[in-house]
Each structure stands twice: as C-alpha cells, then as structure tokens.
C-alpha cells in the first residue's frame, strides 16, 4: 500500500463535472493498493495516517493530529502510485492490486476512517477524476512499506 498525503486548506474531486467529494481543512490522501495488500495492512496505514501530527500548534510546531484540528479527510484511489519507471519510458503497473481487490480495500478504508473522522469524503474508484486542492505548507508525506 502507498499513501500520498497532502495537508490541505481545501480539496475537491470531480467526476464528469460533478463534485464527488469536497473537504475543508484536513488531508487529501491518494490511496494506492498493491497486489499483496490486506485489511490488516490497510489498518496499519490508517492508524499511522490518522495519528500523524502535522498540523501546527499555537507555538508553530507540527504537533497536532487531524482530530486535534477537527480536520476532514478526502480519499482518492490512485493505482498510478505503483508506477515503475525503471525500464523504458512507459510505466509498468504490475505491482498495483487487481481492480476488484483494490476497490474492496479502498472502500474498506473509507468505512474504517468514517468510524473515527466525522467528515470523510472520497472519489469514485476507477473513474476519470479531476482533483483540485490548496496544499497547506506545502506539506506532503508519502507512506509506503519503507515507513511501516
């Protein structure tokens, strides 16, 4: 699994011109599911994601979590996080999870995050999505197997 996390002031994902998900202050998270990922792995990533302390406190230190700032969460599926560009110029995606398995884990993450975060929005799995955001910082973090 790979997560690309952006701390945002606001973010929105549209499908065919219609808003699928929209948040204010919080995390925009691109979710890549790998071919060997499981619910247990997704749980570890969610725990790390929701515990990240990357919002500034009153002293200007990145010391506050998403819940500390009543932040919102926008999850967007993105298999291209598994792009392998080592050979040639055309990326390979053989390490990405099969679409049915990836969608199941993506939907699982949405359900589980919704148990903890009051506002969880999301894109539409497999759709052609247009994502807009205002990155706060900018502040972007990548979580992958090297981190967990």
Q: Where does residue 65 rank: exposed (0-12), middle (13-18), buried (19+ CB within 10 A)?
A: middle
Q: Which of 19, 38, 80, 140 is catalytic?
A: 80
38 counts as catalytic? no
Burial of 127 (0-12, 13-18, 19+ CB in 10 A): middle
Q: Tell me the catalytic residues.
A: 80
């Amino acid at each position: 699994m790979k997560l690309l996390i952006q701390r945002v002031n606001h973010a929105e994902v549209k499908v065919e011109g219609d808003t699928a998900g929209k948040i204010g202050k919080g995390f925009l998270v691109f979710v890549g599911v790998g071919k060997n990922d499981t619910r247990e792995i997704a749980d570890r990533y969610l725990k790390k994601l929701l515990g990240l302390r990357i919002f500034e406190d009153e002293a200007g230190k990145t010391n506050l979590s998403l819940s500390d700032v009543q932040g919102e969460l926008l999850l967007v599926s993105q298999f291209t996080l598994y792009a392998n560009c080592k050979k040639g110029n055309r990326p390979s995606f053989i390490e990405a999870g099969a679409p049915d398995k990836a969608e199941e884990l993506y939907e699982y993450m949405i359900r589980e995050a919704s148990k903890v975060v009051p506002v969880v929005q999301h894109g539409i799995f497999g759709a052609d999505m247009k994502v807009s955001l205002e990155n706060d910082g900018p502040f972007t973090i990548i979580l992958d197997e090297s981190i967990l």
